Structure 1
Amino acid sequence: MESDNHEGTDKENLEGIEIEREEGVEKEVEEKIGKKRILRGKWAVIAMIVGILASIFHFYTAGFGILLTFEQRSVHLAFLMFLAFIMFPLTSGQKDKGKVPWYDIVLALLAVASMLYIYFNHEAIVRRAGRPTTEDLVMGTIAIIMVLEATRRTINIALPLIAVLFLGYAFLGPHMPGPLAHRGYSLTRVVGHQFLTTEGIFGIPIGVSATFVYLFVLFGTVLEQSGIGNYLIKAVFAALGHQRGGPAKAAVVTSGLMGMISGSSIANTVTTGSFTIPLMKKMGFSSEVAGGVESAASTNGQFLPPIMGAAAFIMIEFTGYSYVYIISAAFLPAILAYVAIFGMVHIESIKQGISGLSREEKDPLIPTLLRGIYFLIPIAVLIYLLVIVRSTPFRAAYESIWVAIFVSLLVKIFLYYWCRRKNWTPGSVKEEDLPIDPTRESKGGLFSIGEVNKAFWKELGEAFADGAHKMVTVAMACACAGIIIGVVSMTGLGLRMSSLLVRIGRGSLFLTLLLTVFASVLLGMGIPTTAKYVMLATLVAPALVELGVPLIAAHLFILYFGVKADVTPPVALAAYAAAGVSGGDPFMSGVQGFKFSLAALLLPFIFVYNPVLLMIDATIPQVVWAAITALIGMFAWSAGIENFLFTRTSWLERIALFGFGLIVVITGLTNDIIGLVGLAAVYVWQRRKAGLPLLPKLFRSDEES
């Protein structure tokens, strides 16, 4: 069944991949595809200090009480807009010059001044509500321009361009056609609404960014700096590396686990892909397929609880549901989506005759799991606080960060005493000789309390700075999305768009869902998860609710397809990031990423028509049966997309896989029976066609697996 070329991978190959990762592939790719300025010298120090101070501010207010609405949000934006202008250049050609030009310093200070104007004058602004002064309007105009420019630099032109179009709509209402027309608003009214109320820049998105999102991102960076990424990669490869196409399957699982922490498809792609993509290529996958697998798996991480690309926290505000309810509803579809990608990877591996690592070439599973089990303690505490204790997400994240910091310190102290007891000297200890998985600074052992102290504070400082730096794009997206929401709330555009969608869809739910898919993917291209969700929740979700779709199903539907824009050509940002690691063609990597996501595209339609998958008014047996039928249906679609089950499929078999796969996921026992019988017939026919026994062996040797 498999070719001689893929009988396994030798030790030299694996060691070469380790070296490649250690030489900084991840950092090089981030610099290559990213927009960040490569800061050096004093500006690198300034960026780090400001980032640490920003994280200290948010961590402190989380523990001792957040400030008043305007105060918290304005300080949040002051920190991150300053970082935006010094970390991101005017044009991409300036990112490697290492220093910040004078005009970016001026823009950074103007941005900070406009934000702190709100902080120092918020009481007076509230007292004169509706009567802005000249100073208010000047600072408000500066703030809007600075938000648009900072968003352009940190993300791309798409989101600020959409915001400008919406601002134009606020002014040109009387000239708009039919249902889109409104009376129009003056510059004073528009600037006042955007800058002096909590309906515009300082609206719901930036409010969530300044509280929930920042803490969860900080929690993720503390874990990442402690070394959890390395541990997850090792553990997953120990569990799956020996299976057929093992490296690709490991990439899917690792990306899912990292996605629970990072909440960013691009960051996830670069982090895990710097290890998984080279190994997939070594095992025989093409650069484009390897990049496609990684980008598809990493993108799905934004739909996976607990972070969900930060959209879960904004969803709380839009729907009124509790955080636990939202992540409970999203959990099963997210897992099924990963199973669908996993299934496609398995079929692709069979098609190409790609094997896995031999058992001698991978680490033993149980020892690997145990050596880094302490990494999971903060995550377990977070889940316990959220699900069992039912703490607020804000409080749960704050306390979990403390646990992560404490665990990191204990590990370093333990390593110090272990090295001292063994009488090891610097450079004499090997990583595999240590009883636990060491952190980055501990690979050669910690031989003095001074080194323990230095390593701990260095790691914590980098985690706090990295948390702020990662929040820059999120905050800018939220602030810019706030401008769009401000126009929508002022003009009533949301209601108009809902009625327009329903009218175009002629009252048909299926047709309206298709229009929603188109709008979600179109609006989501090149825009971060939080911003795309805000726009879609404001403009599109009400139309689905009007047609009878449950509120949570409507919001998860638009989030799912908005997220999929990151692997949808031509603007497949996650695929471009993967191509930076693989060296493959970016567009074709996007095509492959889209292909690996196709089977899971059934899921949103399934939970709209069958909300049992979201655990809405359903018993446990109903949920289990719905999950089983959805899994079978998606695997059938995977085989149809790959044009392969046990051997190449004919056009009739392919149609049957698509058709019966769709029928089996539609609600109703009759549909389930028809679909399952039809798929069973295709299964039997394919096994005989491939010359295989009707029932596969349950246990195989390494050579047969």
Structure 2
Amino acid sequence: MKAKDGAGFNVDEFLAKYDRESDYRRYNGFFRLVIAVIAISFSLFHIYTGIFGTLDAILQRAVHLSFAMALVFLLYPARKSWSREHLHLIDGILAVVAALAPLYIVFFYQELVTRAGMATPLDIAVGTLGVLLVLEAARRVVGWPIVTIAVIFVIYAYAGPYIPGVFAHRGVNLTQLVEHLYFTTEGIFGIPLGVSSTFIFLFILFASYLEKTGLGQFFIDLANAVAGWARGGPAKVSVISSGFMGTISGSSVANVAGTGSLTIPMMKKLGYKPEFAGAVEAAASTGGQLMPPIMGAAAFLMAEFVGMPYIEIVKAAVIPALLYFTGIMLGVHFEARKSGMEGIPRDQLPRIGMVLKERGHLAIPLIAIIYLLVKGFSPMKAALWAIALTIITAMIRKSTRISVRDIIKGLEDGARSALGVIIACATAGIIIGVVTKTGLGLKLGSALIDLANGNLLLTLFFTMITSILLGMGVPTTANYVITSTIAAPAVIGLGVPILAAHMFAFYFGIIADVTPPVALAAFAGSGIARSNPMKTGINAAKLAIAAFIVPYIFVMSPVLLMIDAHLSQVLLVVITAVVGMVGIAAAVSGYFITYGRFYDRIMFFIGGLLMISPGLYTDLVGLIIMVFAYMLQRIRLSKK
């Protein structure tokens, strides 16, 4: 079934064009039933192990990968020219082989444990086939960039003795490499797939059920009621609703499609230029992955890598996320003032009381999941309770009630939505496996520090460039895994707290979605707005300016992440940082109370930057500079 909005916008076709994961086969008849059975079984396996306990690590991950591989080869054709409605024989055969390859570990688990380090020719043959099939699955569902990176790492493992300089190593033969990548928990079945096979899958399933209940429409209606009447209302609605939607959607592009099909036409109708309308939606949708309590899948990996409870990651992300969305909201506000735009008449907007009365109960699971995480529940148990609560609370009102059919369909949709993350995690495991086997992580970290000559800001800059470049073709999850393995240790080595270093890599991996020249979310927004993609990308990057600045600030001053911070410090940081974002937004938009001249903009930018950086002296200096810039505009305005 093809989803369309009221204007005939085809969401499925749009996503298939801009989001590789959405370009899958849609079967009818027998194969539709086959896909449903496999996907539902996949979800039930995770619910069962979530309730009664997971299997041994490598067994849990092997079953998880087996389900995912079967679905990928059945749903995603090898070639673009192949049918999206009928199964090709080659894909059918590969689906069976790809499902059996990980199950080899399950069937022969005891024998493999007994002969650890002494792989048989059959082990190596199955392992080699398994690695190749993971790469092919990644090519289909994620794309060539991550496959290319993984292959380069594999070549590096072989070519070690022939590489001059600091990156040389003893070399790894086929048997050693396959055994390490496929039959240990250091490669494909490593930490990324481990996190994916436990709580990431359940959180994606949770998001699937939230979508079934109509929570997305509740967010849009609530945002309209709160901000639709304000100056530039539709753009502010886009920012608020996309921030909310990001908590249940792991994809920037899917978020653009979900809310942008409604908000972008509204913005254009009000008078915003198409490039700006598409950029607002792209920047806001991308920021959804930064917004607690349910951030992008990479945030769950971060909790595992830094060895902290997920709730600590959520707490650390709150202030930076608020600054990000504050920056976008201010950019929208100043653009609206500059263009003399008004909001939507209140009589055309939903009333907040009615919205909360009709659908407010749908937010209960989101509140509950925060409570459960604070109370010390594991993310997996919290997600299970949240899934149950989502179904129960939806039953409160007839208008939000979901049927048994919807509950079953939710199991299927959740499994399908998880495929991209699962395959990205498995492929990232190949990269991590090579890094650990060859010692490349230490070599790269040392090289990065040497290149920056031990300078922290330069090291951060190189890490930012690496994250953004990877993010142009690699999903956030895999991007974070690579940069946290290679670049984050270098930053930590310069005395930065581990959480700040990992959050830095996480932020820039996400912001790649709105960074030209390959700004995927911005290009998706331009597709709806019918605007110039590059201009839309540039506007989106300007609106997302906070995401380029704040990570440097929280590395230099970890109080922004609430690390070793008291309540009074946090409140002061929030207030001064928000004031600082006003200055930066005024500088970027070129407008505060009137059009800014170049020296106004420079003063607003420097003052705003100093205000965001925690510290009494910097706050006072920044405030004085901003007040001076304001007075200059006030004087010019009074002379008109």
Relative to 1, partners in 2 of residues 1:97 and 1:400: Cα closer, same or farther, differing over 3 Å? Answer: closer
Q: Deviations over 1:372-406 (max 9, x none)?
A: 1110111121111111x211111111111111122
* CA distance in structure 2 between the partners assigned to 1:682 and 1:398 by the alignment: 52
Q: Give 1:182's aligned amino acid.
A: H
Alignment of 1:210-249 (within 5 A): 210-249=197-236
Q: Give 1:29's aligned amino acid.
A: F
State the partner residue of 1:82. Answer: 70
1:509 to 2:494 alignment: no
1:458 to 2:405 alignment: yes
Structure 1 residue 92 displacement after superposition: 2.7
For the 8 Å contact 1:222–1:401, the answer to whether it is kept is yes
State the partner residue of 2:392. Answer: 406
Find the partner of 1:391 among 369, 377, 380: 377
- CA RMSD, 1 decimal: 1.7
For the 8 Å contact 1:566–1:574, the answer to whether it is kept is yes
Alignment of 1:464-613 (within 5 A): 464-613=411-560
Which segment drifts farther, 80-89 or 554-563?
Answer: 80-89
Find the partner of 2:592 among 631, 641, 645: 645
Relative to 1, partners in 2 of residues 1:74 and 1:21: Cα closer, same or farther, differing over 3 Å? Answer: farther
State the partner residue of 1:158. Answer: 145
Q: Give 1:579's aligned amino acid.
A: S
Structure 1 residue 186 displacement after superposition: 0.3
Structure 1 residue 302 displacement after superposition: 1.1
Q: Give 1:84's aligned amino acid.
A: V
1:320 to 2:307 alignment: yes
* CA distance in structure 1 between the partners assigned to 2:526 and 2:68 by the alignment: 29
Q: Larger Rg: 1 or 2? A: 1
State the partner residue of 1:31. Answer: 16
> What SS is found at the alignment partner of 2:78?
coil
* CA distance in structure 2 between the partners assigned to 1:27 and 1:375 by the alignment: 25
* CA distance in structure 2 between the partners assigned to 1:169 and 1:597 by the alignment: 36
1:685 to 2:632 alignment: yes
Q: Give 2:50's aligned amino acid.
A: A
Structure 1 residue 586 displacement after superposition: 2.6
1:663 to 2:604 alignment: no
* CA distance in structure 2 between the partners assigned to 1:501 and 1:32 by the alignment: 37
Which segment drifts farther, 126-135 or 657-666?
Answer: 657-666
- Structure 2 length as normaliser, TM-score? 0.96
Which segment drifts farther, 302-311 or 252-261?
Answer: 302-311
* CA distance in structure 1 between the partners assigned to 2:482 and 2:118 by the alignment: 29
For the 8 Å contact 1:247–1:276, the answer to whether it is kept is yes
State the partner residue of 2:578. Answer: 631
Q: Give 1:75's aligned amino acid.
A: V
Structure 1 residue 577 displacement after superposition: 2.1
Alignment of 1:284-363 (within 5 A): 284-363=271-350
* CA distance in structure 2 between the partners assigned to 1:20 and 1:314 by the alignment: 35
Q: Give 2:52's aligned amino acid.
A: F
* CA distance in structure 1 between the partners assigned to 2:87 and 2:24 by the alignment: 9
> What SS is found at the alignment partner of 1:372?
helix
Q: Give 2:513's aligned amino acid.
A: D
Q: Give the paired residue count.
A: 635
> What SS is found at the alignment partner of 1:92?
coil
Which segment drifts farther, 681-690 or 325-334?
Answer: 681-690
* CA distance in structure 1 between the partners assigned to 2:24 and 2:619 by the alignment: 55
* CA distance in structure 1 between the partners assigned to 2:79 and 2:271 by the alignment: 38
Relative to 1, partners in 2 of residues 1:466 and 1:684: Cα closer, same or farther, differing over 3 Å? Answer: same
Relative to 1, partners in 2 of residues 1:165 and 1:242: Cα closer, same or farther, differing over 3 Å? Answer: same
Structure 1 residue 686 displacement after superposition: 1.5
Which segment drifts farther, 164-173 or 67-76?
Answer: 67-76
State the partner residue of 1:673. Answer: 620
For the 8 Å contact 2:323–2:546, the answer to whether it is kept is no
State the partner residue of 2:106. Answer: 119
* CA distance in structure 1 between the partners assigned to 2:630 and 2:384 by the alignment: 51
* CA distance in structure 2 between the partners assigned to 1:304 and 1:86 by the alignment: 34
Find the partner of 1:40 among 2, 27, 37: 27
* CA distance in structure 2 between the partners assigned to 1:692 and 1:63 by the alignment: 71
- Structure 1 length as normaliser, TM-score? 0.88
Structure 1 residue 470 displacement after superposition: 0.7
Structure 1 residue 576 displacement after superposition: 2.3
* CA distance in structure 1 between the partners assigned to 2:295 and 2:476 by the alignment: 9
For the 8 Å contact 1:568–1:594, the answer to whether it is kept is yes
Structure 1 residue 19 displacement after superposition: 8.4
* CA distance in structure 2 between the partners assigned to 1:393 and 1:503 by the alignment: 39
* CA distance in structure 2 between the partners assigned to 1:506 and 1:197 by the alignment: 37
State the partner residue of 1:262. Answer: 249
Alignment of 1:359-374 (within 5 A): 359-374=346-361
For the 8 Å contact 1:600–1:634, the answer to whether it is kept is no
* CA distance in structure 2 between the partners assigned to 1:522 and 1:28 by the alignment: 27
Q: Deviations over 1:494-535 (max 9, x none)?
A: 111111111111111111111111111112212211111100
Relative to 1, partners in 2 of residues 1:550 and 1:199: Cα closer, same or farther, differing over 3 Å? Answer: same
Identity of aligned residues (%): 43
Q: Give 2:13's aligned amino acid.
A: E
Q: Give 2:210's aligned amino acid.
A: L
State the partner residue of 1:51. Answer: 39
Q: Give 2:449's aligned amino acid.
A: V
Q: Return 5+ residue gaps in structure 1 as ranges.
A: 1-17, 416-437, 443-454, 694-705
Structure 1 residue 91 displacement after superposition: 2.6
Relative to 1, partners in 2 of residues 1:65 and 1:24: Cα closer, same or farther, differing over 3 Å? Answer: farther
